[in-house]
Structure 1
């Protein structure tokens, strides 16, 4: 692919493409048997670096908040995030490539049965600090109190240790935790759809942003995202539908 030098320079001012990776979302990234980062977002980062002709450097974090901060501060060049207006202050997002459900978890003996029963006075909802559902529930919950765990994988441990009423997070993570700890259950349905997209620092060249948008649309249309999800055994998430490119 013929890439304009100024676009390549806009993506990698250091000469290498630094991709911010969040290991706190098991749908998108984790570590393989050798302890190396692996997952859908890593596959996308490698393919993007290959297409643009740059050496890839993975900048790995344990939480979404740290990953967002790295791209906002331009200590990373691209990243993989849930779209959120707060994050949009410093990041230009593509359309989503994967849709993930956010769910609530409660104890087996909890009186809560439906999602709309959660936002009540006296209920404490634990979230991963800086996660997409932290940002969303901070806006949406009017009566329940939000308690922030240090990371998404620590949500259920915090929920149990502090005897809280509700845990909130990525549905697949909560399902895995429920099987592991026992005595808990998920409320039916979902409280939000998490739109996972790629992004770059907002101050970068608009042509670079448009290039990244086109890349994500091609990855969806070509089947690359679906194949990556299958290869990594991801269930419960779906490839996002195509979207018209935004005007930057």
Structure 2
């Protein structure tokens, strides 16, 4: 990923004088391990990564909390310079703001019981099977389009879907891999289940990854962040930060 980013970013102009010497970066503090509160301070993967990027850009930065619904309006209103809040890059959002190059491309995964007879998660393999999914999200849209022969059971949350998986009322549950792994790592009764397969990324359903939110026209800041991301990935710092929070590749 770093090599591809470098090839694109290397030719971009950027004058250091165009980047503010102090940046205010918003985050929600409500989606661990990306961002959360440790006492009264924001913490998490994105906070650690943000500080590394600011160091590479030779600027100071402060993280401030912001609600999810106000992230884009607050950015446009210039209440902060950028945000790092586990926000997927989608065409609808790109119509309003710019994003850095993606630093996370979170895979999705199918969770099944260990006693399942399923050997893969292709649409043919899951034809006629019941798949649990959180209602109203991208995973439901994906299933209804790509798995039309499966029976889709919707739930108020991923956790509710998993309860029915444990009880044998569904054959599989789909979710972001971080949520799937967190369930397996933290639930005392998670020995019931295992990851059957990762889901190939479909940008049409899952967006183009997670990036730093930036105002339209802040091209120097975007280029500075992109170059810092390339450097962090290239020298291994990004991986070291990632390994504190995720046990698998996220890009």
| TM-score grouping bracket, smaller chain normalisation | 0.5 to 0.7
SS of the counterpart of 2:112? strand
User: Does the 8 Å contact 1:104/1:167 carry over to 2?
Assistant: yes
TM-score (norm 2): 0.64
Aligned length: 219
C-alpha distance in structure 2 between counterparts of 1:220 and 1:209, whole Å: 17
Structure 2 residue aligned with 1:192 = 200
SS of the counterpart of 2:196? coil
Structure 1 residue 44 corresponds to structure 2 residue 49: yes
User: Does the 8 Å contact 1:16/1:56 carry over to 2?
Assistant: yes
Tell me which moved more, 215-224 or 115-124: 115-124
Render the CA deviation track for 1:45-82: whole Å, top value 9, x for unaligned.
Answer: 22344536354133266xxxx3xx44432446222434
SS of the counterpart of 1:125? strand
TM-score (norm 1): 0.65
User: Does the 8 Å contact 1:103/1:168 carry over to 2?
Assistant: yes
SS of the counterpart of 1:235? coil
CA drift at 1:209: 2.3
C-alpha distance in structure 2 between counterparts of 1:30 and 1:107, whole Å: 30
User: Which structure is larger by alpha-carbon Rg, 1 or 2?
Assistant: 2
C-alpha distance in structure 2 between counterparts of 1:165 and 1:191, whole Å: 16
CA drift at 1:35: 6.9
Mark the CA change 1:92 to 1:136 in structure 2 (over 3 Å): closer, same or farther: farther
Unaligned runs of 5+ in 1: 10-14, 241-248
Mark the CA change 1:43 to 1:89 in structure 2 (over 3 Å): closer, same or farther: same
Structure with more contact order per residue of length (Cα contacts < 8 Å, sep ≥ 6): 2
User: Does the 8 Å contact 1:8/1:52 carry over to 2?
Assistant: no
Unaligned runs of 5+ in 2: 1-13
Greater fraction strand: 1
User: Does the 8 Å contact 2:107/2:176 carry over to 1?
Assistant: yes
Mark the CA change 1:105 to 1:42 in structure 2 (over 3 Å): closer, same or farther: same
Structure 2 residue aligned with 1:160 = 163
Structure 2 residue aligned with 1:127 = 134
RMSD: 3.9
